[in-house]
Amino acid sequence: MKAVNLIPENERRGAGGTAGRTGGAAYVLVGGLALIVIMLAAYAMTSKSIHDKQAELAKVEQQAAASEAKAGRLTPYTAFATLRQNRVATVRSIADSRFDWAHAMHELGRTLPRNITLTTLTGSVSTAGAGGSGGVGLRAAYDVPAIELTGCAPGQAAIPPMLTSLRQVDGVRRVALQQSIKGGDGEAATPTTAGTTGTAGKTVRAPACARTFQAVIFYDPKPTPTAVGAATTDPAAAAAATTPVSGGTK
């Protein structure tokens, strides 16, 4: 027997279209809900990451503050150590720039020949401190420590050995002879001997002054003293400079 559909044909089409439209709306609703869930999950993860970074930043700031406080407590000690090093270097520079006159006199007395007699000896560390009109003219040739000599020799033959001996003095740069004249005034001098009686009753004869000479001994230049380190305006450094530290030397 053949089945017969008793529903009118127009009603059949309406029922099928309504069912199709209802199914599409459900898919749209489910997709929207899924998108909302995904957005909520992303927001939660982002919020957690921001919170973690903020906590890490706060921790780093605390560590930085602690380090700065520690450095601030150590500043006076470092400033004092720097100040001490600068002062030691300054004192060493000044000491190195001073001329050792004691050593120079010792070397001169050791080297000068026995037949040479000195009448004047003038030492100066620069041309600005030279002896003026009474000095040797060649002194102005070099602005270095120098000794001006005026003395007597028994003859012209004694002058070159004397200059050679003086060039052997420790630290000497050069020796210059200003002049060598007979008897001190250009005329032949009469050899004389001056007798003096010592404590033991011995007569000592002074050498004859057949020639007078003027010479200059030039020494190696000395370094210019320099102040090491600049004055600081840091309050901690000023406190370190004025506050005594136990066991330290300023």
The pair phi, psi for residue 175, each rounded to 5°, is -125, 130
Q: pLDDT class for 23, splitting at 50, 70, 90? A: low
What residues form DSSP beta bridges with 211?
153, 182
Per-residue exposure over 164-180, b if at least 16 CB sit within 10 Å of its own CB, e if not = ebbeebeebebbbbbeb
Give 134-174 as a DSSP string.
GS-GGGGG--S-EEEEEEEESSGGGHHHHHHHHHTSTTEEE
- List, for residues 145-160, the tens digit of each pLDDT value: 999 999 999 999 999 9
Q: Give SS3 for 111.
A: helix
Residue 237 near residue 78, CB atoms below 8 Å: no
* pLDDT averaged over every residue in the chain: 75
Q: Scan for tokens 């001073």, then name that residue.
A: 98
Of the two residues 196 and 37, the one the predictor is more confident about is 37
Rounded to an integer, what distance in angstroms lies between the CA atom of residue 129 and that of residue 146?
A: 10
- List, for residues 69-118, the tens digit of each pLDDT value: 888 888 888 888 888 888 887 777 666 667 888 889 999 989 999 999 99
Rounded to an integer, what distance in angstroms lies between the CA atom of residue 211 and that of residue 137?
A: 19
Rounded to an integer, what distance in angstroms lies between the CA atom of residue 166 and that of residue 168?
A: 5
Tokens representing 103 are 């050593």
- List, for residues 167-219, the tens digit of each pLDDT value: 988 889 999 999 999 874 443 333 333 333 344 445 444 456 889 999 999 99
Of the two residues 128 and 37, the one the predictor is more confident about is 37
